[in-house]
Structures are given as C-alpha cells and as structure tokens.
Amino acid sequence: MPRSPSPSQAPRFSLKQLLLEVVFRWMRCWNSHFFLMLTEFLFQVKNATNQIVMNCADIDIITASYAPEGDEEVHATGFNYQNEDEKVTLSFPSTLQKGTGTLKIDFVGELNDKMKGFYRSKYSTPSGDTRYAAVTQFEATDARRAFPCWDEPAIKATFDISLVVPKDRVALSNMNVVERRPYPDDESLVEVKFARSPVMSTYLVAFVVGEYDFVEARSQDGVLVRVYTPVGKAEQGRFALEVAAKTLPFYKDYFNVPYPLPKIDLIAIADFAAGAMENWGLVTYRETALLIDPKNSCSSSRQWVALVVGHELAHQWFGNLVTMEWWTHLWLNEGFASWIEYLCVDHCFPEYDIWTQFVSADYTRAQELDALDNSHPIEVSVGHPSEVDEIFDAISYSKGASVIRMLHDYIGDEDFRKGMNLYLTKFQQRNAATEDLWESLEKASGKPIAAVMNTWTKQMGFPLIYVEAEQQEDDKVLKLVQKKFCASGPYTGEDFPMWMVPISICTSEDPSSAKMQILMDKPELTVVLKDTKPEQWVKLNLGTVGFYRTQYSPAMLESLIPAIKDLSLPPVDRLGLQNDLFSLARAGIISTVEVLKVMEAFVNEPNYTVWSDLSCNLGILATLLSHTDFHEDIQVFIRDVFSPIGERLGWDPKPGEGHLDALLRGLVLGKLGKAGHKATLEEARRRFKEHVEGKHILSADLRSPVYVTVLKHGDSSTLDTMLKLHKQADMQEEKNRIERVLGAISQPELIQKVLTFALSEEVRPQDTVSVIGGVAGGSKQGRKAAWKFVRDNWEELYNRYQGGFLISRLIKLTVDGFANDKMAAEVKAFFESHPAPSAERTVQQCCENILLNAAWLRRDADSIQHFLQQRRAPV
C-alpha cells in the first residue's frame, strides 16, 4: 500500500471559514441518490498559484471560481480528479495572487448507501412504510465524499451550514438553528440556517435530515440537551437524556472548561457503521447505543448506553475542542475517551462497579492483542485512508485507555486533573500531539511523564514481570525480572525492549493497599519487603492497574490460591491473577492444567466481573477443544464450575438485588444452558415456550440466556420460532439480541439458513457481521460454514462495507477460532488474492492466532484430556 505523505506538507492555503449550502432539490421522493451543494470557502492564498488541490471523492463539480477580496472572480477551467488519492486539482487560467479570497464550488454528490460520507439510512414509519433519512459519518476521511475540502484534522475552519429540505422533515447540524425560511420557487422546501460553528475539523461536521421525535432537558450548566429517536419512541430517549444531562456538568467540572456550544443533540440512526460518532453538538448513535425501553431493555444495554454517551460527550472536549494533530495521535482521542467513559459512568452509576469491568473489557483485551508479533505501537505512522481506518482497533482504544488508567494512578487524580486543564486550555480550538499532553501532565505533577509514557506508546507490546521471593528472617526479598511478554512463549528476540513500569506490591496483611510502590526502569530489580512473615502472601499489581503480566514463582502462586477461595484477595485482583495465568498457559509458559486447577478454586466466587472473565477464558478453551474428540469433557468441566453459582442464583431476581446480580444471572444461566446443564436446559425450554405463547413474557435480562440455550439444543422449529420473534420485534435491541445467538444452532442445513438470513433485508447492514460472527463462534461446523460463506460472498460483503473497520471485525470473528497450520495458510492465501487494505493487519493477526492455537493444541491437548477425564472418574 503506497503511503501518501501526510499530513499535507507546506499548505498553500490557510482556511478561515467554510459556507455550505446543501440543497435537496432532487430528493423530494427520498430515494434519488444525489444531492446538490453550493459551497464557499473563505481563505488566504499563501503563495501565488494557478492550481488548487483539495480532497474530493465521488463528487461531480459543476462550476468552481475564485474571487480575490474586492476583485473579479476567475472561473476554474479544469477539474482533474485523482481518484486513487481522493483529490481534485482545480486549474485556473490565471495566477491566484497572495491574499484572501473566496472559492465557490457548486457540485453534485452521491447520497450513497455505504454508511460513510453523506448517506441514506432506511427506516420504517409506524405504519410500516419504508423511508430514508439523509445522514453523515465523516470520521476518519469521508467528509470529502460530501464536499471538496482539506480533509485533515489540523485544518480547522468555522462552518456556516444551511440545509434546504422538505418542510415536514427535521433538519439538524452541529449548531443551533438561527433562521428558517421558505425556499424561493418551491413551496414544499424550507431553508434552515444554522449558527456559525467554532473553528473545527472537517471530520466533526454533521447534518441529518429525517423524521424524528425528541425528548429534551436543560443540563445544570445551561446546555439544551435533546435526544432524537424514531417517531413514536421519544420515551426511549429518556435514559440517555438523563445520563447526558448529568455527564455534561461532570466533564465541565472535571476539566474545569465549559461545554462551548449552546446545544447538544444525541440522535439514533437506523443504519450506522460505528457504535456512535462524536460530531460536535450533534452526536450520532446506533439505535442500540442510545435507546432504552424500561420493559424491554436489559441491564447490559443500559450500561452500554451509559458508557457510549459518556464516551462521545468526553470527545466534545477531548477531540473536538482540542484535536489530534494527525491520525498518528488518534489514540489520544480514543484511548482517553475510552478511559474517561468509565470515570463518568462510575460517577453516574456507582452500583455498576464499572472499573472492575474495565479490566475484563479493555485491559485484558488489549493485552491479548498486544502480545502478538503483529501488534503495533500506540503511536503509529499512517498515511493512506485505509491505514487510518485500520487503527480504530483495540490498541488505540483499549491499550490507550489502559495506559492512561495506569498513568492516572501514577500521577494521582488531583495533579492529573490539573494537567488536563492545562492541556485543554492551552490547545483549545487547536491541535495537539501526544508529547503536548505529556508536557502538561509533567508540569502539573513534577513527574517524568514523557520518559515513562514513551516506553508505553512508542514501542509495541508490554512486559512480563517474573517474581520470586526469599524469606530472610522477618523480611521477604523479592527478585523481579522484566521481559517482553509474547503470546508465543518466552521472549527470544535479540534486542531487549524495556518499559518503565510502576509496580505496586501488597501482602495478606492488607490486600487492598500497597505496602510498596516502585518504578521499575531496568531489567532486574531486588526489593526488600520489611516485616513480612513467612506465612504472608505477596501480590503484585494491586487493582490490576499496571499494564503488565505477572508470573509468580510456584511457591508464591501456591500461597495465593487460598486467598482466591476465601475471597480475601479483592475481586479485581482475583480476576487479574486468573487472567495472567490463562495467558501464560496459552503462551506455553505454564501448563493449561495448572490453570484449570486454579479455576476450580473459584467455587465461592460471588463477583459478576470475575465470572465474566473466567467464562470468557473457558469459552476460548472450549473453542480450542472443539477441534478434538474430547470436546464434551470441557463442557462437563464448565457445568461443574458454574453449577454451584447457578444454584445459588436461581432463575428469578430476589428482593434487594441490583444491576450486577442481573448481569451475573444472565451470564451463568447462559453458560450452563449452552454447556448442556440438564436442569437449566429444561427450565429454559419451559420459559421459552411460555414466552412464545404469550403466557409469561421473559424479562429482558433472561432473554439472551434462554434464547441461546434453546437454540444450542434446538431444531428447525426452534430456529423458525426465533426468526418469527425477530420479525415481530419492534426494538432494534431485541432484533440484535436474536441475531447474535442464531449461530448457536448446530445442524448444517440450519446453519446455512442463518447465514442466508445474515445477508437478507431483515438484518441491518451493520449487523450482518455479528450474525456471521455468531455462526463462526457457535460451533465447529459453524466456523467452517461461516468461513466458506464469507469467501463465497466476499464481493458483496467487501462492497457493502467499502473496506472500513467492519470488514476487519468480520474477518476476525470468522477465522480467529481455527487451530491448524493449514487453515492459517488458507486464510493468508485467500486475502492475498482478495486484498482488503484496511484489514491487512487484522489478517496477519488472525493468521498468527491460528498458528498459536495450533501450537497450543499440540502442546497441551493430551494433558488437558487426561486431567478432564480423570476428574470425571475419580478413583
């Protein structure tokens, strides 16, 4: 892939203001594919030239002219489109002299259906008619599909936007409406003019035209907040509205910088590729990331909506007010927002215990990816749009968030906030790079932030800390060694990457506070823990905050096991310990059987998140063992591990239970049901029948576990019933819930039916990925069938997502679970002949994972089989 030099070097122009007038003259019937736009750019020519080069894609320019201030306009005589580079060169018959002037471009653009640029999104009216809304999604590099521009984050301008739309439609943009007037010559249209925006980057511009209802509130700091929903569903916006109204003052207070616009709209868009997008003042969301129905939404949806709202609103400051200099610093935006969304949800909903969930959702996910040879540094050089698309991944988001969490812990909240305020006020309305943030935090804290953080953001990977202890009278002497952690086993590279690692150490005397804190900046270190008795255990990485894995000497590990059983170790530390062991086993550093034995120590575990992580790891192991002939034995193990907690919880909520109990019940029953636990299966079938018959509707929290259980052990009539429920569902949340579990069905002909359904009109374009992914993850047969289906329908799938990040997600979900060398070669070969530039790295990561799975199986299959079978038949 050619790397275009970026960002644009030595700009010839400095842009001041951009006037956009979008006319829907030809769109009255809402299915014409084109729009007309009249644009005016006020800018300064810095060097005399007779050419103007701009970003531009899928646009037909009608006329372009340049008028120097106070002088005659000159018409461009040539439009030379460089399609590959997504650029156009306008040629003028005479030289444009230094100075300010106005460039006018009238053009026709395509209202596409690719969920990027300016696109149409299909919806049904309450009476069942099909209609289209027109919406935008510009990040990262698609503003150029809606209007020619200099489409780079560091080229900021103010925007004056007008929309000419049918008068019965809602028209929204970043700013508030300042004028609405009839459109000359056409009574059915109105012109809606919006206030001038602050200076901002093109990727944050947005407009939406469609039919919507809304609920509104004024936040305590005076900002008008509206949540726009499909017609008739305004009440489903209530939850997000409350979260947003609480969140705005929270951020204002945290950053000590007010929200700069008079209003903010949050709107649910039916066809939407990402989860949500932070357009300044007009945040767009998938329906499932914004709408909550008190009766039909489950607890995890509520939590997801809160997190997404918290995330996108954080960008209003961090990203919109201060923007990254170039996409290399994308992680600043996404890593930061992915961290602070938790801080915000913890503030709004302390009962969610959301920080523990951070560890299983982001921290461990980041470590899994970052242990691969095909990972990449957080700061990565990118040029071509496909390279930019590629870095919206778990490194930018989850590793980014994890290193910020570690940094926040290292600095302390007070100085961290001071530094954030310095950064936001210094760079407001401008752009900044990673170093700029470090400088502000360094100033605020007096700590060597850049030196520490460069080791985490400029090199890929993270360390494994090996620790052993020796008792010397009343003290323990710890020997620590750091080495890069590799998913393929002990590090054998030639160079020795090092990290500056903040390490905390605690003992059984006080498991929840650090007895010692050090900054390990060399390969080996010896520390003395004073007054630590022989019987006391020692644990590193209190709170699982440091971005490293720990390997304990066998003796140290053994002493920690009782602290799992008796719960004296805090939940997030139990989780971290288990997750470290699992990944060490996967890498072949310890044996998998050893981890399975540790998992048995979780019999008394009450914590949702700990179970969730354990469940996820057992899922990975079950997928691996699905390639063997003893796959049933791991199901027995899962049933044994999960049935005591299942019995304790029962099916129905008990008085006084809360959010986390609901999540735990859903998790455990789903796991038991899928694993074929007899009593769970019977009860799921009974409740499902009553649900379908309308006798007793399942509570939202029990639906996923019941659906997955009956499908896993179901037949064609079960599948038909599920498809019928899907058709009847009014909420997108329910449709998605069903779509995700359909792949649990295991008969080959039914698997085919699900795959065909994935590409049907019944499934929204962005959700096809999770249906196919569900099939691949549902069973061994499903995996093969899904991979064949992706290959057979490659053209259609690739075109549907036009490269984009959904294609990477699809590939990963489909092939990551294979476990033999031949499959790695097959996957590699397929993508060599069917290139997907924005998914190149994902393909390499998947091939690496497949080879790792194969090696894991070769190494441990026999001992796992022996262990599982001997525990089934005790002597």
Strands 322-324 and 430-432: parallel
Least distance from C-beta 337 to Zn ion, angstroms? 4
Tell me which of Zn ion, ligand BES, none is bound by residue 308, counting a contact when its beta carbon lies within the kind-specific cut-off of 5 to 8 angstroms. Answer: ligand BES
Q: Does 337 bind Zn ion (CB under 5 A)?
A: yes
Least distance from C-beta 334 to Zn ion, angstroms? 5
Tell me which of ligand BES, Zn ion, none is bound by residue 613, counting a contact when its beta carbon lies within the kind-specific cut-off of 5 to 8 angstroms. Answer: none
The span of 274-282, 436-444, 593-601, 665-673 binding ligand BES (CB under 6 A) equals 274-282
Least distance from C-beta 802 to ligand BES, angstroms? 12
The span of 122-130, 269-277, 475-483, 646-654 binding ligand BES (CB under 6 A) equals 269-277
Chosen residue from 274, 424, 538, 660 binding ligand BES by CB under 6 A: 274
Chosen residue from 249, 260, 275, 377 binding ligand BES by CB under 6 A: 275
The size of the interface with ligand BES (CB under 6 A), counted in residues, is 17
Give the separation between CA 676 and CA 682, rounded to whole angstroms.
10
Q: Which DSSP helix (H) or strand (E) runs through 348?
A: helix 330-348
The size of the interface with Zn ion (CB under 5 A), counted in residues, is 2
Least distance from C-beta 820 to ligand BES, angstroms? 32
The span of 203-211, 294-302, 337-345, 552-560 binding Zn ion (CB under 5 A) equals 337-345
Q: Which is nearer to ligand BES, 334 or 739 (CB)?
A: 334
Answer left, alpha or beta for residue 438, where phi above 0 means left and psi between -120 and 50 means alpha: alpha
Angle between helices 400-411 and 449-457 (to 10 degrees): 160
C-alpha distance from residue 151 to each of 46, 134, 174, 687 (Å): 18, 21, 17, 54
Q: Does 20 bind ligand BES (CB under 6 A)?
A: no
Report 776-835 residues binding ligand BES (CB under 6 A).
805
Q: Does 315 bind ligand BES (CB under 6 A)?
A: yes
Q: Does 139 bind ligand BES (CB under 6 A)?
A: yes
C-alpha distance from residue 647 to each of 2, 467, 637, 650 (Å): 58, 38, 16, 5
Q: Is 693 a catalytic residue?
A: no
The torsion angles phi and psi of 195, rounded to 5 degrees, stand at -65, 155
What SS3 string covers 373-430? CCCCCCCCCCCCHHHHHHCCCCHHHHHHHHHHHHHHHHHCHHHHHHHHHHHHHHHCCE
Report 320-349 residues binding ligand BES (CB under 6 A).
334, 337-338
Neighbours of 375 (CB within 10 A): 23
Q: Does 205 bind ligand BES (CB under 6 A)?
A: no
Chosen residue from 308, 711, 742, 823 binding ligand BES by CB under 6 A: 308
Least distance from C-beta 361 to ligand BES, angstroms? 10
For residue 302, give the nearest of 292, 313, 311, 312 by alpha carbon: 292
Evaluate the omega torsion of the peptide bond into residue 140 and state whether it is cis, within 30 degrees of 0: yes
Handedness of CA 24, 29, 31, 34 (dihedral sign): negative
Q: Does 287 bind ligand BES (CB under 6 A)?
A: no
Catalytic residue, candidates 242, 312, 733, 848: 312
Q: Which DSSP helix (H) or strand (E) runs through 556?
A: helix 554-565
C-alpha distance from residue 272 to each of 123, 486, 801 (Å): 12, 36, 11
Tell me which of ligand BES, Zn ion, none is bound by residue 737, counting a contact when its beta carbon lies within the kind-specific cut-off of 5 to 8 angstroms. Answer: none
Q: Residue 308, SS3?
A: helix
Q: What does the DSSP 8-state code read for residue 475?
A: E
Tell me which of ligand BES, Zn ion, none is bound by residue 556, counting a contact when its beta carbon lies within the kind-specific cut-off of 5 to 8 angstroms. Answer: none
Instruction: Give the sheet arrangement for strand 207-210, strand by strand.
Output: 117-124, 130-137, 207-210, 170-173
Strand positions, DSSP E, 69-183: 74-75, 78-82, 87-96, 99-110, 117-124, 130-137, 158-166, 170-173, 177-182
Q: Does 344 bind Zn ion (CB under 5 A)?
A: no
For residue 479, give the nearest of 546, 583, 556, 531 by alpha carbon: 556
Q: Are 535 and 507 in contact (CB under 8 A)?
A: no
Least distance from C-beta 273 to ligand BES, angstroms? 7
Q: What does the DSSP 8-state code read for residue 605?
A: -
The span of 224-232, 304-312, 549-557, 721-729 binding ligand BES (CB under 6 A) equals 304-312
Q: Does 140 bind ligand BES (CB under 6 A)?
A: yes
Least distance from C-beta 339 to ligand BES, angstroms? 11
Q: Which is nearer to Zn ion, 289 or 738 (CB)?
A: 289
Q: Does 169 bind ligand BES (CB under 6 A)?
A: no
Q: How many CA atoms lie within 13 Å of 65's alpha carbon, on the beta-carbon side?
A: 10
Q: Does 277 bind ligand BES (CB under 6 A)?
A: yes
Residue ranges in contact with ligand BES by CB under 6 A? 139-140, 274-278, 307-308, 311-312, 315, 334, 337-338, 392, 805
Catalytically active residues are 312
Binding interface with Zn ion (CB under 5 A): 334, 337
